[in-house]
Amino acid sequence: NMAQLWGGRFTGKNDPIMEAFNASLKFDRRMWQADITGSQAYAKALARVGILTHEERDQLVEGLDKVGQEWASDTFEVKPSDEDIHTANERRLGEIIGTVAGKLHTGRSRNDQVATDMRIWLREQATALLTFLKDLIGIAVARAEREIDVIMPGYTHLQRAQPIRWSHWLLSYAWNWHADAERLEQLIKRINKLPLGSGALAGNPFNVDREFLANELGFEAVMPNSLYGVSDRDFVAEFLFWASLTMVHLSRWSEDLIIYSSGEFGFVSLADAYSTGSSLMPQKKNPDSLELIRGKTGRVFGGMSGFLMTLKGLPSTYNKDLQEDKEPMFDAVDTIGACLQIATGTLTTLTIKPEKMKQSLSIDMLATDVAEYLVRKGVPFRETHHIAGRAVRLAEDRGTQMDQLSLDDFKQLHSAFEADVKDIWNFEQSIDNRCATGGTSRTTVEQQITFLKQWLGTS
C-alpha cells in the first residue's frame, strides 16, 4: 500500500472506519499555509547542507507555491489517502513536480512538522485576537471618556453599595482586558519557538541549520531539545487557559449588562442588531449576544480541561493523542474571535439611560459618607460606622431618608455633627471624594483613560 506515506511495512487494507478515525485533514487543512511555508523553509535548509541542489530546492519551493495556490483558490482535490495536511501537501507536490518531491521530508518528521505548523498558525491568530481585544478596549475607553458625567449605583453582592461613575464600571473591564492583552503578548513570545529540525524525536541527522530555519520562519529561538521540541504542547494549553480567562471577563461583563438591561434595572438598552425578539411575546427584547458570550464561555473551558486531560499521562515525545490538540485550539480561536467582535459591536451600539441610573441611587448609599464626615471631624472610624448605622435606622423607622433628618436628630446621634451635614447628600461629591489613585472620582477616572489611550496608541 504505497498510497500512505508509511506504507512500506504495512500490508492489507486499513479498516475504513480506522482510516476516518485516524485522519485529521478535515480540521487541520486550515493550517495549509503554515505547512507550505514551513516546508519551503525546510527545502532551503536542506539545500544549504547539500541534500538538495539549488535546482531541486527551487523546484520544491515553486511546486509548494502551486499547491498553496490550489488551497487558496479552493481547487485542491483531497484524496482518500490524505491523512492530514502534511501528507496531503506532500502527495500533491509529488503529482506536480515528480519524484524530487520525495526529497523534501529528508530528516524531517511530521512530529516536528506539525508542531511547527501549529505554532506558525497560532501566533498569527493570536495576533489577530490581540487586535480584536484592543478594539474592544478602545470602545470601552472612548465611551468612558464621553460619558464621564454619568453616575450609577455600584454593587457588591448585587446590593446597592456606593455611587460610582459609569465610566469607572466600563474601565474596570477595560483593565481586565488590558491584562488579558498583556498575557497574550507574553504568550505569543512563548508560542514563537521553533521545533523544526527536531526530527521524529532524536534530532536532525543532516545538521540542518536551525537558526537559519528560525530566522526564515520568523521564530524568536529554536527549541533546545528535540524530545521537548516534538512533545511540548504548553503553548496550546496556555492559549486555551488564556482564552478561558478572557472569556471569564467577557462573561462577567455580559452578565452585568444582562442585569442592567432588565426591566427592573433599565440602565442600558441593547441595539436591535445585538438582540432578538420572542416568537411568542411581542414585547420581548432579549440580550442574546451577551447570553451567547456567557454561554460559549463553557465550551472554551471544556476545550481547556479536555486538552489538559489528554496531556496528562502521555509518555514522552509524540503520541497520536497529541492530534487532539487541534480541535480545541481551532474552536477556542473561532469562539473567542467571534465573542470579542460581538462584544465590541454590542458595546458600540449600546444605549445608556443616565436618568434611570441616577434614580436608582438612594440616600442610604451615602451612609459611608456620613461616617467619613465624622472621621473628618476627628471621630474614630469604628465609632462613626456605628453612628451612621443609627442614622440609617432612624430614617428607616420614620419611613424617610437620611437627608430628611434634622440637624437636631444628627446632633443627638453625635455632637460633632454640624450644619454642613447637609452637604453630604450629594452623590457627585461622594464620587469625587474617592480621588486616591484608582478611585471613581473624575480626576482618577481621567487618569485611567489617559493611561489606556496611551497604551492603545490613540491619544
Residues recognised as catalytic:
157, 278
The least CB distance from residue 187 to ligand ARG, in Å, is 21
Closer residue to ligand ARG, CB minimum distance, 3 or 179? 3
Give the residue from 421, 362, 58, 103 showing the smallest Cα distance to 66: 58
| C-alpha cell of residue 311 | 496531556
Q: Reduced to 3 states, what is the DSSP secondary structure of residue 284?
A: coil
Of 122-130, 162-170, 270-278, 316-324, the segment contacting ligand ARG by CB under 6 A is: 316-324
| DSSP H helical ranges for 147-261 | 166-191, 210-217, 226-231, 234-260
Closer residue to ligand ARG, CB minimum distance, 301 or 330? 330
Closer residue to ligand ARG, CB minimum distance, 317 or 441? 317
Give the residue from 120, 89, 94, 125 showing the smallest Cα distance to 196: 120
Give the residue from 143, 185, 181 showing the smallest Cα distance to 347: 143
Q: What is the DSSP string of 154-165?
A: EEETTEEEEEEE
Of 108-116, 161-169, 175-183, 388-396, the segment contacting ligand ARG by CB under 6 A is: 108-116
Q: Cβ contacts of residue 13 below 8 Å, gap of 6+?
A: 1
d(CA 353, CA 284): 18
Which of 14, 33, 323, 401 contacts ligand ARG by CB under 6 A? 323
The least CB distance from residue 82 to ligand ARG, in Å, is 11
Closer residue to ligand ARG, CB minimum distance, 113 or 297? 113
The least CB distance from residue 109 to ligand ARG, in Å, is 7
Of 56-64, 252-260, 264-272, 320-328, the segment contacting ligand ARG by CB under 6 A is: 320-328
The least CB distance from residue 303 to ligand ARG, in Å, is 16
Of 39-47, 142-150, 314-322, 359-367, the segment contacting ligand ARG by CB under 6 A is: 314-322
| DSSP H helical ranges for 360-439 | 367-376, 381-397, 407-413, 427-433
Of 319-327, 355-363, 375-383, 435-443, the segment contacting ligand ARG by CB under 6 A is: 319-327
d(CA 161, CA 289): 28
d(CA 417, CA 414): 6
Q: Which residues pair with 403 in a beta bridge?
A: none
* Chain center to CA of 432: 33
The least CB distance from residue 307 to ligand ARG, in Å, is 13
Give burial (CB, 10 Å; 0-12/13-18/19+) of 190. Answer: middle
Closer residue to ligand ARG, CB minimum distance, 4 or 286? 4
Closer residue to ligand ARG, CB minimum distance, 56 or 84? 84
d(CA 256, CA 211): 49
Which of 265, 301, 318, 410 contacts ligand ARG by CB under 6 A? 318
The least CB distance from residue 84 to ligand ARG, in Å, is 4
The least CB distance from residue 19 to ligand ARG, in Å, is 13
Q: Residue count at the site for ligand ARG (CB under 6 A)?
A: 10
Which residues ranging from 175 to 234 are in contact with ligand ARG (CB under 6 A)? none
The least CB distance from residue 284 to ligand ARG, in Å, is 46
Give burial (CB, 10 Å; 0-12/13-18/19+) of 171. Answer: buried
Greatest alpha-carbon pair distance for the chain in Å reads 101
Q: What is the DSSP string of 113-159?
A: HHHHHHHHHHHHHHHHHHHHHHHHHHHHHHHHHHTTT-EEEEEETTE
d(CA 99, CA 244): 46
Q: Is there binding between residue 305 and ligand ARG (CB under 6 A)?
A: no
Closer residue to ligand ARG, CB minimum distance, 198 or 430? 198
Which of 24, 231, 297, 444 contacts ligand ARG by CB under 6 A? 24
Closer residue to ligand ARG, CB minimum distance, 129 or 322? 322
Q: Is there binding between residue 114 and ligand ARG (CB under 6 A)?
A: yes
Q: Is there binding between residue 322 and ligand ARG (CB under 6 A)?
A: yes
Closer residue to ligand ARG, CB minimum distance, 115 or 290? 115
Of 107-115, 241-249, 335-343, 411-419, the segment contacting ligand ARG by CB under 6 A is: 107-115
Q: Is there binding between residue 110 and ligand ARG (CB under 6 A)?
A: yes
Taking a C-beta distance cutoff of 8 angstroms, is the pair 440, 433 a contact? no
The least CB distance from residue 321 to ligand ARG, in Å, is 9
Taking a C-beta distance cutoff of 8 angstroms, is the pair 63, 70 a contact? no
Taking a C-beta distance cutoff of 8 angstroms, is the pair 34, 42 a contact? no
Residues binding ligand ARG (CB under 6 A): 24, 28, 84, 110-111, 114, 318, 320, 322-323
